[in-house]
């Protein structure tokens, strides 16, 4: 078996968490390897796909509000440096239903952190967004400076920028790590093609593959689930469902969200509830008839103009959920030089820059992580509380 290295840090997983971690480690002067089985932004990854909403409203979870704002600044700086138009400032609208506790809490947090936002009553909503049929919605929050990231292209750009900073990118499938050696350090990771990678520290930021690589530590703490996404074709000549008329939107009461028709791809609608267990390697990525019916019913209720319009495209991706939706950022219980980073839980993409910076700083300094992200808080029964 041939080996490469030693590196200061080997990062396994070139999705949004791993790519930004490698980027920030390189900026800290570290010699870094970045490894991925299928390539950054690939269709099996949680960071693949066409678009992701970036917004700052997170109820009372101030750390996620601050990280979203911090990350948006880093995304914009990256795009400016590479003349890339991968952020669309559509604004984001949060609809408040009878179950509006999360939205109410967001108002106070946004004000405290200083995020530009508006509270819109029902009359103002109907005046500004006549495309919606608001039904039981009585008010909403609008974040004018938030919007949509073009996900696949954005994460590929981060990986390319990391390589430009000296990160060595390696295509390769990492084999399962031996977890049984209590208190031991990991010397290398083996690839399926008989190569190995040596490093002083390892960061595993491989999303839904984490429980496959670490079944003892994470097999019952990270839950990959199947998520379906639908794109509706608006009527001919109707610009009401594209920016600037249409923002991105989140309907917490209905557990569904959407993205306006960007680059003529279609009006994106996706249920934001946990799907069935899903294998990222072997799972079929064809949407279901049941999922289509769910979205059709929602369109008839909230966007009646689109209720009979065709689906022009669809995706199947996955969340890698923790028990409650908080991220996992911690050392492996038995491997002192192994970091586990994941649990994006359907809301992680936007936070990639802040997560990568946080991980890099802690890998370099060895400082203790916030207990919010500890592996010990990731229990085996799902009770989602972060959206």
Averaged pLDDT, 312-337: 94
- Whether the CA torsion 71, 72, 75, 80 is positive or negative: it is negative
Q: Is the pLDDT of residue 217 over 60?
A: yes
Q: Where in the chain is the domain with CATH 3.50.50.60?
A: 1-50+150-222+322-387
CATH fold label, 56-149+223-319: D-Amino Acid Oxidase; Chain A, domain 2 (3.30.9)
Q: Is the pLDDT of residue 182 over 70?
A: no
User: Which of 37-75 are b and which e, b meaning 16 or more Cβ less than 10 Å from the residue's Cβ?
Assistant: bbebbbebbbbbbbbbbbbbbbbebebbbbbbbbbbebb
Structure tokens at 297: 């019913």
pLDDT at position 183 is 59
Nearest to 338 by CA among 9, 96, 118, 51: 9
CATH of domain 1-50+150-222+322-387: 3.50.50.60
Q: What is the pLDDT of residue 178?
A: 82
The closest of 277, 376, 272 to 326, measured between CA atoms, is 376
- What mean pLDDT comes out for the span 172-181? 85
Compute the mean pLDDT over every residue in the chain, rounded to the nearest whole number. Answer: 95
Give me the pLDDT at residue 179, please: 79
The per-residue pLDDT for range 74-123, each reduced to its tens digit, is: 999 999 999 999 999 999 999 987 556 788 899 999 999 999 999 999 99
β pairing state of 195-204 and 338-342: parallel
Task: Tell me the HSE value of 314 on the side-chain side, using a 13 A CA sphere.
Answer: 18
- Judged against a pLDDT cut of 80, whether residue 329 lies above it is answered with yes
In this structure, are residues 81 and 27 in contact, taking their beta carbons and an 8 Å threshold?
no
Residue range(s) of every CATH 3.30.9.10 domain in the chain: 56-149+223-319
pLDDT value of position 98 = 57
Are 32 and 10 in contact by the 8 Å Cβ rule? The answer is yes
| Mean pLDDT value across residues 53-61 | 96
For 291-307, what is each residue's pLDDT tens digit?
Answer: 999 999 999 999 999 99
The pTM score is: 0.96
Residues pairing with 246 in the sheet: none
Distances in Å between the Cα of 92 and the Cα atoms of 22, 89, 116, 141, 286 are 30, 9, 11, 8, 28
Using alpha carbons only, give the angle 287, 291, 297 rounded to the nearest 5 degrees. Answer: 140
Please give the structure tokens belonging to residue 238. 């109707």
pLDDT for position 308: 97
Task: Give the model's pLDDT for residue 143.
Answer: 98
How far is 159 from 161, CA to CA, in rounded Å? 5
């Amino acid at each position: 078996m041939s080996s490469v290295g030693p590196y200061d840090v080997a990062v396994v997983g070139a999705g949004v968490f791993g790519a930004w971690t490698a980027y920030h480690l390189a900026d800290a002067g570290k010699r870094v390897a970045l490894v991925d089985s299928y390539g950054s932004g690939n269709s099996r990854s949680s960071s693949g796909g066409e678009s992701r909403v970036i917004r700052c409203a997170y109820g009372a979870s101030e750390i996620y509000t601050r990280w979203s704002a911090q990350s948006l600044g880093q995304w914009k700086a990256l795009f400016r440096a590479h003349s890339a138009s991968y952020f669309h400032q559509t604004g984001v609208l949060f609809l408040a239903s009878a179950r509006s506790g999360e939205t109410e809490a967001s108002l106070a947090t946004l004000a405290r952190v200083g995020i530009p936002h508006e509270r819109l009553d029902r009359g103002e909503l109907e005046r500004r967004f006549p495309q919606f049929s608001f039904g039981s919605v009585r008010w909403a929050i609008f974040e004018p400076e938030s919007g949509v990231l073009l996900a696949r292209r954005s994460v590929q750009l981060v990986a390319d920028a990391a390589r430009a900073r000296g990160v060595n990118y390696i295509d390769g499938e990492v084999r399962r790590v031996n977890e049984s050696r209590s208190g031991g350090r990991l010397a290398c990771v083996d690839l399926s093609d008989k190569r190995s990678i040596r490093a002083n520290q390892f960061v595993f930021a491989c999303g839904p593959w984490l429980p496959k690589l670490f079944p003892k530590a994470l097999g019952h703490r990270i839950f990959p689930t199947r998520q379906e996404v639908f794109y509706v074709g608006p009527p001919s000549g109707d610009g009401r469902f594209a920016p600037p008329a249409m923002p991105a939107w989140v309907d917490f009461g209905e557990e569904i969200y959407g993205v306006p028709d960007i680059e003529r791809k279609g009006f994106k609608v996706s249920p934001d509830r946990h799907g069935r267990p899903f294998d990222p390697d072997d799972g079929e990525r064809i949407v279901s008839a049941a999922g289509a019916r769910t979205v059709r019913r929602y369109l008839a209720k909230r966007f009646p103009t689109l209720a009979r319009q065709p689906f022009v495209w669809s995706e199947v991706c996955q969340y890698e959920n923790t028990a409650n939706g908080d991220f996992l950022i911690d050392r492996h219980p038995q491997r002192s030089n192994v970091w586990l980073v994941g649990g994006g839980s359907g809301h992680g993409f936007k936070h990639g820059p802040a997560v990568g910076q946080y991980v890099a700083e802690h890998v370099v300094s060895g400082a203790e992580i916030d207990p919010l992200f500890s592996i010990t808080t990731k229990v085996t029964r799902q009770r989602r509380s972060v959206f």
